[in-house]
Amino acid sequence: MARSSTSGVLPSPPNCVTATACASAATCSFTNAEAAGQAAAPAGGTVVWQTAEPLTLVRGDGAEFGLNRSMIVGRGEDNDLVLTGDTSASQRHSKIDLVAGQAIITDLSSRNGTWVNGKKISGPTRLKHADKILVGDTVFRLRVGSQPLADADSKPKQSAALGVGLFVGGGVLTLIVVGAVIVIGIILFAAWSFFFQPEPTPIPPTAVSAPSAESPVSAATEQASAERAALRALVWIVAPVGNPRTTNDASTGSGSLLSDQGYVLTNFHVVGDLDTGRLYNREKWAQVGLNWNSPDAAPDTFYRAEVVLHDSQLDLALLHIIALENGDPLPADTSFPFLPVGNSDDLKIGDPIAVLGFPGLGGDTPTLTRGTVSGFLRDEFNNLERGWIKTDAEINPGNSGGMAINARGELVGVPTQAFTGADVTGKISEIRPINFAASLIDLIP
């Protein structure tokens, strides 16, 4: 899950009071007395590259921040760029230095790390044009001069209500409840204008059935076919935080369609606050997006869904699609693709498993990562044996609530969280076994 906000606050330079003010599209420059301070070249290093072109950080909601001095980015109010409301960001998360006209980013021992183009940085890293920088749940891109940011600038502007500020990554690493997140929210809320156009004609869906045991195809071919079928039942979820009609803040994640009537299973933390057990908005609704014709592309059709049941202790929630995105009733013949549910108790160490979701760091399209069942963990909080499935299949920001499927394409778990550590190579991801969602799934007609 990821959270986004447009309320980041700058330290009141003359021409840019707050990040919210910048969201109107004006480019903000840091012009206070500290602007003269630039970082020196790294000790012992010889810097030969130089650029005179202006450098700009472009946030996912379109807000722009000119870089003409070194700056600290984080959640603390004393930072140069304040990520207000980004609970995944550390108080002092990262630092961007200007060295010979270039931007060098360094992580300041943050809780979740600093990521550039989907990779966690381990030292000072030079930023190039169009690089994606993930700080907490907030994503920025670096623009050099007036060069376009191809996959962002070419997209339509969103409406000012729910559409602003959803270009985010997700909380990651040292025990992160993965969400978000989704990095590029711009394409999502371009869909606000879709109700002015004819509704796409859905492809008549059918249940995703597992291939028969007698099929002559190889195991690899069978698994690939099952994965392609499962992809049609994958959805992108956006839950407004606050009043859905006025808020600029939202939580994003993934989900699985489990019924042709539009029932969706996801993590509770995608639609609600785990600390309080409350949903993010009193209306109890979220938006659900999918792509009927090209399921491997970004969602282009969105619907309104309500939260019908949730279990914050197990971090699970069941949604039901009830209307079109603009609130109009669903066409009478609407029938959604859906995924068969497997038995997580049948899983064994070494079994193949695949994780599908919208991780955000790679763009606004779905991602599939394959791995194996690495083991099982006890859920101490809920006193559950085999409360978690361990896997080496990577779970990234935004995958929260998505699908973990077996080789037959059956849903066997809900990707929930990931762990890393200084003494660990790679990630250990954890999946909530699908059998623990039985109390929710049993309510589906």
CA distance 340 to 343: 10
For residue 159, which of 366, 3, 331, 325 has the smallest C-alpha distance? 325
For residue 8, which of 168, 120, 125, 244 has the smallest C-alpha distance? 168
Domain 183-324: give its CATH superfamily.
Trypsin-like serine proteases (2.40.10.10)
Looking at domain 344-441, which of 3.30.160.20, 2.40.10.10, 3.40.630.30, 2.60.40.10 is its CATH number?
A: 2.40.10.10
Listed in sequence order, the residues at least 6 apart from 282 whose beta carbon sits closer than 8 Å to its beta carbon are none
Please answer whether residues 243 and 281 qualify as being in contact, where contact means their C-beta atoms are separated by less than 8 angstroms. Answer: yes
For residue 107, the surrounding DSSP H or E stretch is: strand 102-107
For residue 60, which of 160, 166, 135, 212 has the smallest C-alpha distance? 166
Please answer whether residues 3 and 180 qualify as being in contact, where contact means their C-beta atoms are separated by less than 8 angstroms. Answer: yes
pTM attached to this predicted model: 0.55
Q: Is the dihedral of CA 143, 149, 151, 157 positive or negative?
A: positive
For residue 373, which of 395, 396, 389, 357 has the smallest C-alpha distance? 389
Please answer whether residues 266 and 307 qualify as being in contact, where contact means their C-beta atoms are separated by less than 8 angstroms. Answer: no
Residue pLDDT tens, the chain, 445 long = 555 443 333 333 333 323 333 333 333 333 333 333 333 334 434 333 445 688 999 988 888 998 888 999 998 999 999 998 777 788 999 999 988 778 999 999 887 788 888 788 888 999 999 999 988 888 899 999 888 987 543 333 333 333 333 333 333 333 334 444 333 444 444 444 444 444 555 555 555 555 455 454 577 788 888 899 999 999 999 999 998 888 888 889 999 999 999 999 999 999 999 989 999 999 999 999 999 999 999 999 999 999 999 999 999 999 999 999 999 999 999 999 999 999 999 999 999 999 999 986 656 899 999 999 999 999 988 999 999 999 998 887 678 899 999 999 999 999 987 654 444 444 578 999 999 999 999 999 9
pLDDT, residue 247, reads 85
pLDDT, residue 19, reads 33
DSSP string, 48-79: -----S-EEEEETTS-EEEESS-EEEESSTTS
DSSP class of residue 193?
G
Is the fold of 2-153 the same as that of 183-324? Answer: no
Per-residue three-class SS string for 277-340: CEECCCCCEEEEEECCCCCCCCCCEEEEEEEEEEECCCCEEEEEEEEECCCCECCCCCCCCECC
Fold for 2-153, please state it.
Answer: Tumour Suppressor Smad4 (2.60.200)
Please answer whether residues 433 and 382 qualify as being in contact, where contact means their C-beta atoms are separated by less than 8 angstroms. Answer: no
Domain boundaries, the chain: 2-153, 183-324, 344-441
Please answer whether residues 399 and 357 qualify as being in contact, where contact means their C-beta atoms are separated by less than 8 angstroms. Answer: yes
pLDDT, residue 204, reads 56
Amino acid at 250: A
* Beta-carbon count within 10 A of 381 CB: 10
For residue 165, which of 184, 143, 148 has the smallest C-alpha distance? 184
pLDDT, residue 52, reads 63
CA distance 402 to 410: 13
For residue 420, which of 75, 119, 104 has the smallest C-alpha distance? 119
